[in-house]
Amino acid sequence: MTMPLIRFLPEAVDDLLETQRWYGRREPASVERIRLDPRSFPPIHGQIRRLVLRQFPYAVYFKEEGLEILVVALHSRQDPRRWQQRS
């Protein structure tokens, strides 16, 4: 069975980008905290670490890959199975 192609209306893409900007303005230090000291966040699933956002019901899931930090997901904290498949 062929999987259907997903298409976004331009307005839906705008909504997504605006949400990203909105959260980014309110939690700008979060990614910087990860960059400065990624190992200060406990591993929660293999090599995946988690930063829980203070003001929002989301967490940033990431892992170190050599000199890079790979963000696996920005996800609500409700069902970790949704992002665990990405690692």
Q: Is residue 79 a part of any domain in this protein? A: yes
| Contacts for 19 with CB less than 8 Å, ≥ 6 apart | none
Q: Which domain holds residue 30?
A: 14-84
Answer yes or no: is 2 within a domain.
no
pLDDT in tens, 9-19: 787 777 667 76
Q: Could you give the residue ranges of the DSSP H alpha helices within 1-87?
A: 10-26, 28-36, 81-84
Q: Report the C-alpha gap between 30 and 3 in whole angstroms.
A: 36
Q: Per-residue pLDDT tens for 46-84?
A: 999 998 877 777 788 888 888 888 888 776 655 556 556
Residue 6 lies in a domain: no
Give the chain's domain count.
1
In a domain, 8, yes or no: no
Q: What is the spatial distance between Cα 65 and Cα 67, in angstroms, rounded to a whole number? A: 6
Output DSSP code: residue 55: S
Residue 3: inside a domain? no
